[in-house]
């Protein structure tokens, strides 16, 4: 049987072998929720980059620049890091260069994997079905916040692990923590997450993204990193 494991933050990724595996990066609040929503609604591609300067260079080449620092919009950028911005008419058919504090960094740190997916609650079941058909070991890498775990990402790790329990064997203590947390939280994710540090941070900025990012299976799409290092819909 193939295995599935949760890595609690990108700072722990060096403890894992990525070669031969599919890595699923999740940053529920909000990078991968933006990515899944935008691509599902009609954004052409999203290039995840680490530095703000890289985004601004790509903007000169015709990309929209999107993302955040300190969860806020970056000066000179076209889009902030709200999923709703990625679903606006002006984003449709466009390529977006995206940089975020943790999410795009985590995707870039996963590049040794055989394949990289970006996922969130909004495409949980579609991602699970895709992975089951691939028949490979899976590592779910939670973006977290500046090297620390983020409860919302850990819950997604637990949800995806449980969704795949018929095809993939759970490996590692962090994976058991994630599934136990999701089993406790699943009846009301929003209430459970009131204690989450990033939820508190986002609430100060308005918080309309929070319930949206916790909605399950809004989209029947799978998002993967292609050979040009751009996130696109998997066909
Ligand atoms: C990140 O990548 O750190 C996040 O998506 C931050 C956010 O915009 O909430």
Q: What is the pTM of this model?
A: 0.96
Question: What are the pLDDT digits (tens) for 188-205?
Answer: 999 999 988 888 888 877
Please identify, by atom number, the ligand 1 atom nearest to the C-alpha of residue 100: 2
Distance CA 111, CA 113 (A): 5
Kind and range of the H or E run holding 223: strand 223-225
30 C-beta closer than 6 A to ligand 1: yes
106 C-beta closer than 6 A to ligand 1: no
At 27, which CATH number?
A: 3.90.1560.10
| Measured CA angle at 223 (ends 62, 179), to 5 deg | 140
In the chain, the number of structural domains is 1
Please identify, by atom number, the ligand 1 atom nearest to the C-alpha of residue 34: 5
Question: What are the pLDDT digits (tens) for 41-83?
Answer: 999 999 999 999 999 999 999 999 999 998 899 999 999 999 9
103 C-beta closer than 6 A to ligand 1: yes
For residue 3, which phi and psi values (nearest 5 degrees)?
A: -115, 160
Domain range for residue 184? 2-233
β-partners of residue 46 are: 96, 231
């Amino acid at each position: 049987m193939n295995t599935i494991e949760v890595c609690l933050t990108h700072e722990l990724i060096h403890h894992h072998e990525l070669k031969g595996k599919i890595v699923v990066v999740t940053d529920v609040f909000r990078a991968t929720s933006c990515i899944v929503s935008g691509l599902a609604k009609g954004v052409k591609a999203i290039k995840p980059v680490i530095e703000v300067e890289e985004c601004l260079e790509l903007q000169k080449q015709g990309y929209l620049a999107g993302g955040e620092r300190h969860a806020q919009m970056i000066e000179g950028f076209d889009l902030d890091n709200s999923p709703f911005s990625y679903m606006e008419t002006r984003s449709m058919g466009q390529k977006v260069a995206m940089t975020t504090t943790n999410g795009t960094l985590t995707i870039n740190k996963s590049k040794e994997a055989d394949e990289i997916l970006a996922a969130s609650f909004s495409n949980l079941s579609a991602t699970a079905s895709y992975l089951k058909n691939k028949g490979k070991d899976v590592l779910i890498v939670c973006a977290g916040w500046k090297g620390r775990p983020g409860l919302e990402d850990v819950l997604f790790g637990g949800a995806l692990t449980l969704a795949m329990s018929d095809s993939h064997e759970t490996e590692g203590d962090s994976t058991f923590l994630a599934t136990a947390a999701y089993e406790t939280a699943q009846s009301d994710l929003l209430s459970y997450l009131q204690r989450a540090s990033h939820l508190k941070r986002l609430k100060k900025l308005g918080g309309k993204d929070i319930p949206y990012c916790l909605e399950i299976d809004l989209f029947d799409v799978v998002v993967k990193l292609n050979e040009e290092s751009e996130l696109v819909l998997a066909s």
